[in-house]
Each structure stands twice: as structure tokens, then as C-alpha cells.
Amino acid sequence: MAKINNAFITLASIFALASAAQSCITINDLNVPGAEILNITSILQTNVSAPAPPPDPAYTGISFCDVTIVLTHPGGNDTVTVEIWLPTTGWNSRFQATGGGGFSSGIGSALLGPAVAQGYSAASTDGGNLGFGFQINPEAFDSDYNVIPGIFEDYIYRSVHDMAVVGKAVTEIYYGKAPSFSYWNGCSTGGRQGVNEAQMYPDDFNGIMAAAPVINLGQDVIAFEWPYIVMNNEKTFPSQCVFNTFLNASIAQCDGLDGVKDGLISNIKDCDFDPYSLVGKQVECDGTSNTISHSVATVYRKILEGPRTPSGEQLWYGLELGVRTNDLYTGDANTATSNGTTIAVPFPVTDEWIKYFLKLDPSYDTSTITYAESAELFAQSVNDMVNSSSNNPDLSPFHKAGGKMIVWHGLSDNIAPPGGTLNYRHRVESLMGGTGAVDDFWRLFFVPGISHCGGGYGPVPTDPLAAIVAWVENGTAPDTLAAQFTDPSGAVVNHDICRYPLVSRHDGKGDPKVASSYTCAESF
């Protein structure tokens, strides 16, 4: 009797173990054109929590079938992992692919938890691991520091397309029904991946939500180094507090241009803030009293101007007036102050970019880059990346396929200049018949006060993904994007973000915290 009991207990614990790591899908046949599947595993995740994008709390109590697929591209020297989360109950018949940031293609994205909680089957990919966040992965380079071409292709375009193919197929196998609609959701690198899909694989997604897209890769990434190059060449290193003096003065001057004083510069175009107007001003910063010098004002002006050649020719866009240099993420104009000494700190992604992609020398010292060398590096970057910059303006196949796209970009972005996104928009408009024609399938929203992908100060889009879903599935093209934030006094501020080229204008009388107090106007 005792023996049988023991056997029972043993069997029961084997079952317990098995259910702790229970596979949840059988995949016999998965065909990914151009790729070879190396491995498929699955595990049932029951009542687990998943991180959400800050400041949202983690999503708890979610249950899903967690499928991991490893594949390679013959000759590509790459190993790519795709992970798909399939909600065990309440699938909403939609598929959502999620994007990455920096050098990450997005595996383990914080967008997965919210997606699954809303009933999407959702996917992310490591894109072959070109890098991890801000850091390059040295294993993606050969012994001469040349990037392994297959891994670079994965990062630029291939792995996102594979994820769409794999994610939709696995979704269909699990539920016995193909997803009714497929969506892209991402910011920064994730924004670039989404816009690139519209360019290269117009049938992958019905709807694309791409925020702060780092398109124009050849121009953008090298331009991120410009503030660091300026500070080193001017031998002037303003602390973040000193930068904030300029921010505050520009807000004080230009906040009201849209008809309301709300701490935001919405009308950047008409703001003629002159950094030199602060020269000689005394500011209390970092525990000491500072006088704003001419060279500090020059640094600020050059950061807003963006990269130029030594003779003054503009190469690319700078950060915009109202930029919050010290916000949320380490930005392009980062400095570190300790013991009264301030040093310039480069944006890590770009520092790696210059060392690995342009100089092929991981020990290259970027602090020595002169203005002349900066212009050469810019030209090299644009040339090297001519076919990989995710900025092909021909979106007609995407338009023809019925795709819809929403792009939003914070005007106070401290990493990716909003001017790059506008430049792309203008190129698409010239090719495709102007603003109205492009608005039929792509709407663009610039968000005052908001930094790279979020943060900053001011109302931030609350659910742009819901807006693209409504557009795709109901034909409701968004004229505005609902946005909200809680101001420092604790009051909830609602604002509808106007679509480009319209701008928000206060009606002169309504409560500035209420969205209906504003209209979208042709100009201020």
C-alpha cells in the first residue's frame, strides 16, 4: 500500500513538473521563405506578470502559450529568435508585432504584456542580436570588425518580415483561424521597423503605429553625435541645469504663441528665441552661481541648428526648441556634472555606431572628432547606409494594399530630431500627390513637450494603437490623437493632438486642461 502510494506521489509530482513546463502547441509544418527553422519550443504560462512600458504598472494575471522559434538564413551566419505570446482565452482575432529600441530588435518587448492583456497574439524578435539596447554585440562582427552582413540585414528589415510571417502562421495554427487583422506597434528603432515594413513589405500589416521613428538611419544616427561634437570642439560643457535655463527661457518667451500659457511650446515655427539673449545672465546651478557665457549660448544654438559643415552648410536637423535634454533617456546633449566639473557624454548608440560601422575600430576615441571630421563621417554614414536607411518615400504599394499608418513624434525629442520625420513626410508627399493624398493612408502627429517615445512635459498620446485599429477596421481616420497627462499640481490635462500640418490653437477662453478648449488650425 505504502509503495503504491509512493508511486502515486511520484507520478503526481511528475505531472506537476510537466504542467509547470507544459508545451502548448504542436507545429508540424512552418514554412518561412528564405529561412530555415532550427527549433520550436513552447511553454504554457499561467497567471504570470509581464512588464509594461513605464510608468504603467506590470500586467499581472495573464496566461498565454509562449512559443519560441529559432531560425537562420542559409549563408547569413545568423541565429534569429522569434517569440510569440498567444492568449489562452479571449483572443481578439488580431495579431500584433512589437518593435525594439537602440540596437535591440525587440525581443521581450514591454509591449507584449499589454498586447496579450488586450487579447492580441503578439510577437517580438531578437533580429539576430546586432546589439542589446545601447550596446553593439561584438559577436555580430567579424575579426576585422566588419558587421556580418546577414545579421545587419536581419536588423534593418529581414527579421521583422520573418516575425510577421511566423507570427501569423503560429497564430493560425494555435487558434485554427488566421488573424483577421495584423498590426505593428513600436517606437524609436521600433518606429523605424514599422515604417520600413510599409516601404518593403506592404502586405505584412493592415495597420502600423510607429512613434519617433529613427528612419533616415544614415543621417539620423550620426546626427545624434552632433551635440557631443559641438561641446568638445567649443570646449564648453554646460551642465543639464544650465541647458534647462535655456529651455525655461524659451518656454517663457514662446509658450503663449498658441494662445495659452501651459508650459509648452506648441508653435515652434514662430518662436524666435535667441540663445544669446541669456549671455551675462546669472543662474543658480549645481549649488553655485554661474554666468551664461557667449560660448555656452553658441553650444545651445548649434545643438538646435543641427550638424553643419565647417563652411556652414546644413547637413541635417537639430533638436527643436523646447527639447528636454536631460529627460527620460540619455539624450544626444547629455552631460554629467560632479564636484563642480561637467563633462560631455555621447549618446551611446551613436558612439558605438561610429566606432563599429564607420571607423571599424572599437577603441576609436569619439571625443577627438573635429568639425571637419564630423562632416566627413556624416557623408560616409549617408553613403554607407544609402540602401539601409528605411526612408524610401514610395509607399504606393502599402497604400494600394489598403494599409494605414500613424506616426507620432515628440517635438521635445532629445534623441531623434523631429525634422527627420518631417523631411521624410515631405518626400512622400512630393512623390504621392501632396498632404491630402498621403493623409488617406498615413497621418502624422507632432506632440509638443514630449521627449523620445514619451516622458517630457505635457499630454502624451494615450492609445495611438487603438486609433490605428479604429482606422483599419472601421474606417475612422483620426483627425486628432487623444493625449493626457497629470500636471505637477496633480490636475489631469486632456488635449487632442492635431495632425500635421494642422496646429493646436486655444480658443482664448476655455479651460486649458480640457481638450474642447482647442481647435486644430491651419496656422497659429
Ligand X SMILES: *[C@@H]1O[C@H](CO)[C@@H](O)[C@H](O)[C@H]1NC(C)=O
The nearer residue to ligand X, 343 or 422, going by C-beta atoms, is: 343
319 grid coordinates: 533638436
Q: Which of 339, 363, 368, 489 binds ligand X (CB under 6 A)?
A: 339
Q: How far is the CB of 47 from ligand X (least distance, A)?
A: 4
User: In whole angstroms, what is the distance from residue 458 CA to residue 467 CA?
Assistant: 20
DSSP string, 274-301: -GGGGTT-EEEETTEEEE--HHHHHHHH
Q: Does 486 bind ligand X (CB under 6 A)?
A: no
Q: How far is the CB of 478 from ligand X (least distance, A)?
A: 11
Place of cell 545651445: 300
Residue 28, number of CB atoms within 10 A of its CB: 6
Q: How far is the CB of 251 from ligand X (least distance, A)?
A: 8
Helix, strand, coil distribution of the chain in percent, nearest 5: 35, 25, 40
Q: Does 44 bind ligand X (CB under 6 A)?
A: no
**Stretch of residues binding ligand X (CB under 6 A), selected from 167-175, 194-202, 214-222, 467-475:** 467-475
Contact code string over 100-119 relative to ligand X, x by CB under 6 A? --------------------
Beta strand pairing status for 404-410 and 207-211?
parallel
Residues in the chain: 524
Tell me if residue 188 is catalytic.
Answer: yes
User: In whole angstroms, what is the distance from residue 226 CA to residue 92 CA?
Assistant: 45
Q: Which of 245, 325, 326, 412 binds ligand X (CB under 6 A)?
A: 245
Question: 250, 324 in Cβ contact below 8 A?
Answer: no
- The active-site residue out of 188, 250, 374, 412 is 188
DSSP 141: B
Q: Which of 382, 470, 477, 520 binds ligand X (CB under 6 A)?
A: 470
Residues 3-42 that bind ligand X (CB under 6 A): 38-39, 41
3-state class of 191 per DSSP? helix
447 grid coordinates: 506632440
The nearer residue to ligand X, 289 or 338, going by C-beta atoms, is: 338
**Stretch of residues binding ligand X (CB under 6 A), selected from 94-102, 241-249, 311-319, 328-336:** 241-249
Q: How far is the CB of 522 from ligand X (least distance, A)?
A: 28
The nearer residue to ligand X, 28 or 339, going by C-beta atoms, is: 339
DSSP 162: H
Tell me if residue 413 is catalytic.
Answer: yes
The nearer residue to ligand X, 339 or 489, going by C-beta atoms, is: 339
Q: How far is the CB of 386 from ligand X (least distance, A)?
A: 5
Q: Which of 469, 481, 503, 515 binds ligand X (CB under 6 A)?
A: 469
Q: Does 338 bind ligand X (CB under 6 A)?
A: yes
DSSP string, 416-455: S-HHHHHHHHHHHHHHHTHHHHHHTTEEEEEETT--SSS-
The nearer residue to ligand X, 371 or 471, going by C-beta atoms, is: 471
The nearer residue to ligand X, 47 or 311, going by C-beta atoms, is: 47
Q: Does 244 bind ligand X (CB under 6 A)?
A: yes
DSSP 155: I
The nearer residue to ligand X, 99 or 218, going by C-beta atoms, is: 218
Q: How far is the CB of 345 from ligand X (least distance, A)?
A: 14
Residues 246-265 that bind ligand X (CB under 6 A): 248
Q: Which of 37, 148, 343, 379 binds ligand X (CB under 6 A)?
A: 148
Q: At what angle do helices 371-384 and 226-234 cross, to 10 degrees?
A: 160
**Stretch of residues binding ligand X (CB under 6 A), selected from 181-189, 244-252, 267-275, 416-424:** 244-252
3-state class of 473 per DSSP? helix
Question: 462, 395 in Cβ contact below 8 A?
Answer: no
Q: Does 241 bind ligand X (CB under 6 A)?
A: yes
All residues at 6 or more sequence positions from 441 whose CB lies less than 8 Å from its CB, including other chains: 395, 398, 399, 403, 404, 405
Q: How far is the CB of 40 from ligand X (least distance, A)?
A: 8
Q: Which of 172, 373, 463, 473 binds ligand X (CB under 6 A)?
A: 473
Q: Does 282 bind ligand X (CB under 6 A)?
A: no
User: In whole angstroms, what is the distance from residue 482 CA to residue 211 CA?
Assistant: 15
Residues 386-445 that bind ligand X (CB under 6 A): 386-387
Q: How far is the CB of 317 from ligand X (least distance, A)?
A: 23
**Stretch of residues binding ligand X (CB under 6 A), selected from 99-107, 242-250, 399-407, 506-514:** 242-250
Q: How far is the CB of 77 from ligand X (least distance, A)?
A: 4
Backbone angles phi, psi at 101, to 5 degrees: -150, 145
520 grid coordinates: 486644430
* Residues near ligand X (CB under 6 A), total: 21
- The active-site residue out of 126, 220, 413, 496 is 413
DSSP 250: H
Q: Does 47 bind ligand X (CB under 6 A)?
A: yes
Q: Does 61 bind ligand X (CB under 6 A)?
A: yes
User: In whole angstroms, what is the distance from residue 519 CA to residue 498 CA?
Assistant: 8
Phi-psi domain of 189 (left: phi exceeds 0; alpha: psi -120 through 50; beta: other): alpha
509 grid coordinates: 477662453
Residues 67-86 that bind ligand X (CB under 6 A): 77
- The active-site residue out of 452, 496, 506, 517 is 452
Backbone angles phi, psi at 47, to 5 degrees: 55, 50
Q: Which helix (H) or strand (E) is 43 found in, with range?
A: strand 36-50
Backbone angles phi, psi at 476, to 5 degrees: -85, 95
Residues 352-391 that bind ligand X (CB under 6 A): 384, 386-387
DSSP string, 320-383: PTT--TTSSS--TTEEEEETTEEEEE--HHHHHHIIIIIS--TT--GGG--HHHHHHHHHHHHH
Using CB under 6 A, list all residues that contact ligand X: 38-39, 41, 47, 61, 77, 142, 148, 241, 244-245, 248, 338-339, 384, 386-387, 469-470, 473-474
Q: Which residues are part of the catalytic machinery?
A: 188, 413, 452
